[in-house]
Amino acid sequence: MIRAVLMTMAVCLIALPSAALAQDAQGSDAAKELQSLQAEQSQAVQEHRAKVRAAETREERAKLTAENPAEKFAPRFLELAEKYPGTEESLTALQVAMRARDSEVQNKALAIILRDHKESKALGTMVSGWARDASKADALRQIIDASPHREVKGLATYSLATLSLRSARNDEAKREAAIKLLQQAVEVYGDVEIRNRTIKQVAGGQLTEITKLQIGMEAPDIEGTDVDDVAFKLSDYRGKVVVLDFWGDW
């Protein structure tokens, strides 16, 4: 009896770490597979570049540059992501697959990101790249709702505001909704960094542009000094046609 208990304990002691090991091993399998796929892709890209350089006729070169050697790897990145769902490696692979030209691959990758990785902090960079892509509006909304990270929420809000503004054109209601988003980006996520500036600076500037600097609006006054420290105002020139020229000697 005692022996049996001891045996069981021994088995447990061995079994526990080995279960952990197995998980680690799976993690490292994913990492290894991802690494080798990335290596294979970058080799293909390099070989393709060498071929382009070696092309002898202009036609041959044009034909080669039209090819995208990375493209055929996209489905394989997607496969890898599906094999190791929820892992960091999976997300990396999905982000590569998102850059595919093939929209089917792209959509599948996006669906998996929204299913498994909505809460990832790594989404910030990706959502920043969606500001010109109207098809991403819904995905951005989902990420804004689900992400626990201010940074990701802020960047997604700014992207959604920008693309909403672009697609609103002359639709007043849509335009107002987009302006509200922009205000929200400034007020709630103003301190979040974006391209070496802050959302407050970037989105705040856009808000000013939209609300105060449109054609047909009265120009805001400028009060300042000239290079000899003499004070003057833009409105001193009322009654004259004014070309206002922001310039630098570079």
249 binds other proteins (CB under 8 A): yes
68 binds other proteins (CB under 8 A): no
For other proteins, the closer CB: 59 or 226: 226
Q: Per CB under 8 A, which of residues 169..228 are in contact with other proteins?
A: 201, 205-206, 208-209, 213-220, 222, 224-227
Q: How many CB atoms lie within 10 A of CB 112?
A: 20
43 binds other proteins (CB under 8 A): no
Strands 197-198 and 193-194: antiparallel
* Contacts for 93 with CB less than 8 Å, ≥ 6 apart: 34, 37, 77, 78, 80, 81
Compute the least distance from the CB of residue 214 to other proteins, in Å.
7
2 binds other proteins (CB under 8 A): no
For other proteins, the closer CB: 50 or 227: 227
Measured distance CA(244)–CA(250) in Å, rounded:
18
Measured distance CA(30)–CA(121) in Å, rounded:
20
Compute the least distance from the CB of residue 185 to other proteins, in Å.
15
Q: Residue 68: name the closest of 18, 39, 28, 102 by CA.
A: 102
Contact positions vs other proteins (CB under 8 A):
201, 205-206, 208-209, 213-220, 222, 224-227, 232, 234-235, 237-250
